[in-house]
Amino acid sequence: MPKVIFSNEKLNIDAADGANLRETALAAGIQLYRGPARLLNCRGRGDCKTCKVKIEPDKNASPRTAAELPRAHGRILQMIDHRELIGWRLACQVRIRGEIDVATQC
Ligand code: FES
């Protein structure tokens, strides 16, 4: 069972291999959302982008889904959220594949 270390909350939990990170965090009582997003989020569909977490190492998580990739349509380079490119992931899109350290935004 991979260990998931929530560094901000100082909580370590064991998760099933392939478990969804958002569901794992919420089941453990970890708050992923800030402000209004606590109520107004897409419930894991990858639409709202409010469940961002920083994961290390990224290799112990599933590959990025289409919902996590910067969109080419209608965006110019300066408008891309660069956090998407350096370890930030959408918790709802991540499957746990090994031990990971997770930093939430809360
Ligand atoms: S819950 Fe909306 S993008 Fe993850």
- d(CA 41, ligand 1 centre) in Å: 6
Task: Give the CA radius of gyration of the chain.
Answer: 13
Ligand 1 contact via 26 beta carbon (within 6 Å): no
Q: What is the pTM of this model?
A: 0.87
> What confidence tens digit (pLDDT) does each residue in 82-103 have?
555 678 899 999 999 999 999 9
Residue with tokens 């709802």: 92
Predicted confidence at residue 87, as pLDDT, reads 80
- Residue 20 CA to ligand 1 center (angstroms) comes to 12
Task: Please report the atom of ligand 1 found closest to the CA of residue 91.
Answer: 4
**CATH numeric code, 3-103:** 3.10.20.30
User: Which pLDDT band holds residue 72 (cuts at 50, 70, 90)?
Assistant: low
Helices (H), 1-106: 21-27
pLDDT one-digit tens code per residue, 13-53 = 999 999 999 999 999 999 999 999 999 999 999 999 999 99
Q: What is the reported pLDDT for 77?
A: 47
* Signed CA dihedral, 95, 96, 97, 102: sign only: positive
Q: Which atom of ligand 1 is nearest to the CA of 32?
A: 1
